[in-house]
Amino acid sequence: MKLEKKVEEKLLAYIKEIFANDSWTLAHSLSAVGIIKQIAKSEGADEKILATTMYLHDIGYGGLLADGYSFSQRIAAKKEHMPKGAKMARDFLGRIGGYTEEEISQIAHLIEVHDNVDALKTQDELLVLEADSLASIDPKVPFSFSEEDVVKYVDFFLNHRATRFVSKKGKELLEKFSTQNKVFAGMAGKFKK
Ligand SMILES: [Fe+2]
């Protein structure tokens, strides 16, 4: 199913408010939405479920991280942001309407597990992983962390994220972003030896 414009406007307004002081996560979330739409289209997957999930996947960080947070603070909040975000998504989607109970449960589940990358199995879980991963190396959304932290991130990405891509479109975009994102390409080149 497609995501309706009117509903999409509400999702956008909601995350803009949550990430008012976290422009990286806002840009990351919007990038993830654009990417999942392309992937959902080429895979014939459910855009309404997946695009809603990408809008909301990181809302659990809202309120957990103070402005100007460091990479290690973000890592420390990682485990908690998933159940917190799933609960916030349930409340928000129930409030705005336009979603069945079943749809809300699917979206909340995807948010609740999205960063447990090694445990992801279903097609929807893996497509969310692809969009989240790609958005994190989107050349238009540059890394906001220190070089040392980017090294750690790229290492993790190559071993736990890039290896799990299943869709044709996702793999295509992975190749494109890995080249266009010069910081990523430079680091990845060092790891390959
Ligand atoms: Fe997340």
Confirm if 138 and 180 have CB atoms less than 8 A apart: no
- For ligand 1, the distance from its centroid to the CA atom of residue 132, given in whole angstroms, is 8
Sketch out the chain's domains with CATH numbers: 5-192 (1.10.3210.10)
Average pLDDT over every residue of 109-134: 97
Q: How far apart, in Å, do the first and last CA atoms of the chain sit?
A: 44
What is the pTM (predicted TM-score) of this model? 0.95
- For ligand 1, the distance from its centroid to the CA atom of residue 6, given in whole angstroms, is 25
Residue 192 clears pLDDT 70, i.e. is over it:
no
How confident is residue 138, by pLDDT bands cut at 50, 70 and 90?
A: very high
- For ligand 1, the distance from its centroid to the CA atom of residue 25, given in whole angstroms, is 9
How confident is the model over 144-163, as pLDDT tens digits? Answer: 888 888 888 899 999 999 99
- For ligand 1, the distance from its centroid to the CA atom of residue 64, given in whole angstroms, is 12
- For ligand 1, the distance from its centroid to the CA atom of residue 57, given in whole angstroms, is 6
Nearest of 73, 43, 146 to residue 154 by alpha carbon: 146
- For ligand 1, the distance from its centroid to the CA atom of residue 68, given in whole angstroms, is 17
Report d(CA 26, CA 15) in Å as an integer.
7
How confident is the model over 60-86, as pLDDT tens digits? Answer: 999 788 777 888 888 889 999 999 999
- For ligand 1, the distance from its centroid to the CA atom of residue 59, given in whole angstroms, is 8
